[in-house]
Amino acid sequence: MVLAVGIASAFADPAIIAHRGASVDAPENTPAAFREAWNQKADGIELDIWLTKDGRIVVIHDGSTKRTTDKNLVVRDHPLEELRKLDAGVWKGEKWKSEPIPTLEETLGELPVGKLIYIEIKCGPEVLPELARVISKAGKPAEQLRIIGFNFETLVKSKALMPEVKTLWLVSGSKDKITGKTTYPDLAAISEKASAAGMAGLDLNMGFPLDAAAVAAIKAKGLTLAVWTVNDPATAKRFAATGVDAINTDHPARIRSALEP
Ligand code: G3P
Ligand code: CA
């Protein structure tokens, strides 16, 4: 893929973003998964954040540690010191035993030069002051950072607090419990809403009906566009052809090799 030049797209086009790190090959949202993402030549990583009881930011997908560690704790009810004692790797296999729940601070500290990080806010706006502090302390160029989230109001507050960091609104479809059919919000409406709020872009579930015209219409609003979570090479090629800016995947090596000329 060509390297685009310019402020809005100084990264590979489309950028390959390792979803929760290289989460097929290593335990999600751990240092091992992020190292594996760089090994697999990802352009960036995506991760999820929660606030601990003592006001620190940890990287974990769920609000509890049940699924991805050896103990069941509610993240917001426990201090960092306690959460750090958990094993966030062994559920994936003995090879990853003792892998810790990382802090956002240390993950940002290890972000390689020129690589992207998509930080998904899973908790509420209470995390924002600490997020701003951690980002400022890390001293990384804003161009490497993205803040993403499903909660529009939290993102608006995030943008007000950290105007230099690009904010992308995560949007998905909703599944009808009876028919099982998933319907997606109108692309023009969500583009308009994001653009009017000054967001940098949209980060869309791959089920949205995206073709080249739809992507061009989103970009015409001045928005960047990422899609998630694409693990199938043919689907990644289809999205790349539409002109999306970033593809989130659990398997960066597979998608990298699919998109290589
Ligand atoms: O990148 C967006 C995607 O991560 C949202 O879904 O559940 O994997 O956090 P989830
Ligand atoms: Ca996520």
Question: Residue 199 C-alpha to ligand 1 middle, in angstroms?
Answer: 18
Catalytic-role residue among 11, 12, 15, 19: 19
Q: Given pLDDT bands bounded at 50, 70 and 90, which one contains residue 7? A: very low
79-85: long-range contacts, CB 8 A cutoff, minimum separation 24: 79/52, 79/53, 79/54, 80/52, 80/54, 80/56, 81/54, 83/52, 83/58
Read off the pLDDT of each residue in 162-179 and give the average, rounded to a whole number. 97
pTM of the model: 0.95
Q: Distance between CA atoms of 170 and 149, rounded to whole angstroms?
A: 5
Kindly report the average pLDDT of the chain as a whole number: 95
Residue 125 CB-half CA count within 13 A: 12
pLDDT at residue 9 greater than cutoff 50: no
Ligand 2 is an ion; its neighbours by CB within 5 Å are 48, 120
Indicate the top mutation candidate among 59, 120, 147, 225 to test ligand 1's pocket, ranked by most ligand atoms within 8 A of CB: 120
Catalytic-role residue among 35, 41, 61, 237: 61
Q: What is the pLDDT of residues 114-169, one digit of tens each?
A: 999 999 999 999 999 999 999 999 999 999 999 999 999 999 999 999 999 999 99
Q: What is the pLDDT of residues 69-94, one digit of tens each?
A: 999 999 999 999 999 999 999 999 99
